[in-house]
Structure 1
Amino acid sequence: MLLSPWQRWRRWRRGRPFWGGLFAVLAGAEICALPLAPLKVMLQQGIAGIPSVLMGIVMIVLGLTAWFSPAQRSLAGVLTTLIATAALVLSNLGGFLIGTLLGILGGGLMFAWQPHAAPRPSPEAQPAAPQSPVPPQSAAPTQSPTPTGTTGHPDPQGAQP
């Protein structure tokens, strides 16, 4: 089945924390760009320009990490939130608060995102098991089809559907 470019884009976007990564990239660009602005915009830059640029670049990299390596979304989300909060103090009020707010929102969205689990078969689709004449209190516990400690889908972080 051939998918249109729009359908491929939607499938790619839904398979990762897209909006969290986008907000992190925008926050990083905001924090990174302000120290590079003309002197009329920035009254005093001083040594604060170096951490601002570095924090912005790290936030952009974390946003891209969430897009291209969704398994690392939790770490990227927590680090994005911490860096955005630190930028409030270290980088011109975190890009005049815009960068900090976008970074906190993006980090939270990255951390909270969960992949879609594979749909489970409905009980009607499974054949009925033969009824045992043994009373329920003396029946032995049955084994579940999923081994203990697995979640039933390939998410390495163990997210439940």
Structure 2
Amino acid sequence: MLLRRWRRWRRSRPFWGGLFAVLAGAEICALPLAPLKVMLQQGVAGIPSVLMGLVMIVLGLTAWFAPAQRGLAGVLTTLIATAALVLSNLGGFLIGTLLGILGGGLVFAWQPDAARSPSPSPSGSPAPTSTPTPAPSPSPPHPDPQGAQP
């Protein structure tokens, strides 16, 4: 029962993209706190690393708990991961940047499951109809206020 609920929750959101974004944020955030021999930059320059890492963690959690905001979270995660390459110890020694780009792409590309369409008849051909279908009438203009047409 618990495993089924976990699976349903995980599949109803961009889970793997959010996980990669959280891991990338943790990697980028943890390096400024490392010993001096591991660090490439020290002092005030480490503050952007911590901030970018925290923002990436928040964006990964946003993808999990507010999947409707996945587009913004995915784009921002990718941008911050790319900026971390320059601003934060080569983006967590490239690991954080690569995880962030992968996670941002997965979050942005995730789509919720569409309603399943009815399955075709077992013979593979459509069911016969007794009445012919009328020709479709021209549809009215699309109500999109920005003018997009289907």
> 1:16: Cα distance to partner?
0.5
Structure 1: distance between partners of 2:35 and 2:10: 36
Please identify runs of 4+ aligned residues in structure 1 that moved more than 4 A.
126-129
* Percent of aligned pairs with the same amino acid: 80
Structure 1: distance between partners of 2:40 and 2:130: 80
Match of 1:23 in 2: 20
Residue 18 of structure 1 aligns with an amino acid whose one-letter code is F
Counterparts of 1:65-144 in structure 2 under 5 Å? Answer: 65-122=62-119, 124=121, 129-132=129-132, 139-141=134-136
Structure 1: distance between partners of 2:89 and 2:68: 32
Preserved contact between residue 40 and residue 89 of structure 2 (Cα < 8 Å): no
> 1:40: Cα distance to partner?
2.3
Q: How many residues align?
A: 138
Preserved contact between residue 41 and residue 89 of structure 2 (Cα < 8 Å): no
Preserved contact between residue 77 and residue 101 of structure 2 (Cα < 8 Å): yes
> 1:47: Cα distance to partner?
2.2
Structure 1: distance between partners of 2:120 and 2:86: 55
> 1:61: Cα distance to partner?
0.3
Structure-2-length-normalised TM-score: 0.82
Listed one character per residue, the Cα deviations across residues 57-98 of structure 1 (whole Å, up to 9, x for unaligned) are 000000000000111111101100000000000001000000
> 1:141: Cα distance to partner?
1.3
Structure 2: distance between partners of 1:6 and 1:49: 41
Structure-1-length-normalised TM-score: 0.77
Long gaps (5+) in structure 2? 144-150
Residue 20 of structure 1 aligns with an amino acid whose one-letter code is G
> 1:123: Cα distance to partner?
5.3
Residue 141 of structure 1 aligns with an amino acid whose one-letter code is P
> 1:140: Cα distance to partner?
3.7
